[in-house]
Amino acid sequence: MPVEMDRTEANSGTRAVDERLRFDTSALEAWMDANVEDYAGPLAVSQFKGGQSNPTYRLDTAAKTYVLRRKPPGPLLPGAHAVDREARVMAALGDTGFPVPRIHGLCEDESVIGTAFFVMDLVEGRIIWEAAFPDLSSADRAAHFDAMNATIAQLHMIDPEAAGLADYGRPSNFVERQVARWSKQYESDVEAGRVPAMDRLVAWLRANLPPDSGNARIVHGDFRCDNMIFAAREPRVAAVLDWELSTLGDPAADFVYHLMMYRMPAGMFTGLDGLDFEALGIPSESEYVAAYCHRTGRETLPHLDYLMTFVMFRLAAITHGIRGRLARGNASSDHAAATAALTEPLADLAWKQAQTARL
């Protein structure tokens, strides 16, 4: 098992822009002057510590602070780092009243800073990097869990057609296509190497596919506490971030990815397993599922064990991809190596889920 890293320390705040990820600030200022309403420079640029996939920057002016998110430079896997999709889904969801940052503009002209990017508002508040919500009272912790549950339920109740996102993805056979996508991404990333448990999982997931749910909704794809900004002084989700993996799909699979925190060991990503939920004010897994089902009008959450195995496999495939980016020299985070080292433990954990799954 790799050494646990302090995710709060590793991800909080900003730093000087990495040499590999620098760009012509004057070119960005000219673009913002032409495309961002009420923009006034000069501009100071720093890089957020967090973010394993798309490099993210803080843009400070005298009057306002923005956030820039871009594709990383260098060779990329096909379909990855889709900043255009992130910008589109956030703009559409913002119009429905869902909590996302305001999008100011998307630039797909690579001559400006070297890769496509978009600019959005910086939302003030708190990012909580650990799902145990340290330093809160049990009552406040329970309220934050309820806020997360309500927010993902709100997302899954949005009608994609009414939001202008009916063509945001293929509405059918989501889980089957996701298994195929992440299996292919794992198998094609030769620089990252092969992992025996991942090979077993690919075969198991293909052999045990559940029937299609037939209930496509907008799915976030990476809904975790650290991809949200909570209001500064209340248990409310002020903004949901990091929409790179969003699409149309099965909302149950999206919720189970969020639910995965209950099956992950404390200290691994946002894991909770092994903690005293009652003492901490954390709802049990079954209580959390029941709250989501109530909010979305469901009676049950079918195929939970299969979906749990899949989402753990997918997370392992993501960390495997970070290992590949390290090998190719375009990993965007200082702690990419520590995250990549979690690939085998995650794959082993997913395989244990598969071995005990009730199908």
For the residues 305-314, what does the mean pLDDT come to? 97
Whether 153 and 285 share a structural domain: yes
pLDDT for res 79: 58
Of the listed ranges 12-16, 83-87, 311-315, the one predicted with least confidence = 12-16
Whether 99 and 152 share a structural domain: no
Measured distance CA(181)–CA(171) in Å, rounded: 15
Whether 206 and 295 share a structural domain: yes
Over the stretch 316-333, which tens digit does the pLDDT of each residue have? 999 999 999 888 887 766
pLDDT for res 9: 46
Over the stretch 255-309, which tens digit does the pLDDT of each residue have? 999 999 999 998 787 899 999 999 999 999 999 999 999 999 999 999 999 999 9
Q: Which residues contact 155 (CB under 8 A, 6 or more apart)?
A: 93, 98, 217, 218, 219, 220, 223, 240, 251, 254
Looking only at the bridges linking them, the beta strands covering 65-70 and 44-48 are unpaired
- Report percent pLDDT > 70 for the chain: 93
**Is 221 a member of any domain?**
yes
Distances (CA, A) of 219 to 89, 189, 215: 10, 25, 11
Q: For residues 222 and 3, which has the higher predicted lDDT (pLDDT)?
A: 222
Q: For residues 128 and 52, which has the higher predicted lDDT (pLDDT)?
A: 128
If one counts the domains in the chain, the total is 2
Whether 94 and 206 share a structural domain: no
Categorize the per-residue pLDDT at 7 as very low, low, confident or very high, splitting at 50, 70 and 90.
very low
Over the stretch 164-221, which tens digit does the pLDDT of each residue have? 999 999 989 999 999 999 999 999 999 999 999 999 999 999 999 999 988 899 999 9
Whether 96 and 174 share a structural domain: no
Among 60, 89, 121, the domain-final residue is 121
**Is 46 a member of any domain?**
yes
Backbone angles phi, psi at 103, to 5 degrees: -90, 130
Q: Which residues contact 148 (CB under 8 A, 6 or more apart)?
A: 225, 228, 237, 258
**Is 130 a member of any domain?**
no
Whether 315 and 170 share a structural domain: yes
- Beta partners for residue 106, in sequence order: 118
pLDDT for res 12: 60
Over the stretch 93-104, which tens digit does the pLDDT of each residue have? 999 999 999 999
**Is 127 a member of any domain?**
no
Whether 98 and 158 share a structural domain: no
Measured distance CA(64)–CA(155) in Å, rounded: 29
Q: Which residues contact 204 (CB under 8 A, 6 or more apart)?
A: 309, 351, 354
Of the listed ranges 2-6, 137-141, 203-207, 294-298, the one predicted with least confidence = 2-6
Whether 83 and 160 share a structural domain: no
For the residues 35-55, what does the mean pLDDT come to? 85
Whether 144 and 105 share a structural domain: no
Q: Which residues contact 281 (CB under 8 A, 6 or more apart)?
A: 137, 138, 139, 140, 141, 142
Categorize the per-residue pLDDT at 122 as very low, low, confident or very high, splitting at 50, 70 and 90.
very high
Measured distance CA(262)–CA(289) in Å, rounded: 11
Categorize the per-residue pLDDT at 14 as very low, low, confident or very high, splitting at 50, 70 and 90.
confident
Read off the CATH number of the domain in which 17 is found.
3.30.200.20
Over the stretch 69-111, which tens digit does the pLDDT of each residue have? 998 887 555 556 689 999 999 999 999 999 999 999 999 999 9
Among 65, 92, 121, the domain-final residue is 121
Measured distance CA(257)–CA(267) in Å, rounded: 17
Q: For residues 340 and 267, which has the higher predicted lDDT (pLDDT)?
A: 340
For the residues 330-358, what does the mean pLDDT come to? 88
Question: Residue 81 — left, alpha, or beta (φ > 0 → left; ψ -120 to 50 → alpha)?
Answer: left
Read off the CATH number of the domain in which 296 is found.
3.90.1200.10
Residues 296/158, Cβ–Cβ less than 8 Å: no
Q: Which residues contact 156 (CB under 8 A, 6 or more apart)?
A: 217, 218, 219, 251, 254, 255, 296
Whether 92 and 224 share a structural domain: no
Q: For residue 51, what are the domain limits? A: 7-121
Backbone angles phi, psi at 123, to 5 degrees: -95, 120
User: Is a pLDDT exceeding 60 seen at residue 10?
Assistant: no
Measured distance CA(17)–CA(335) in Å, rounded: 15
For the residues 46-52, what does the mean pLDDT come to? 75
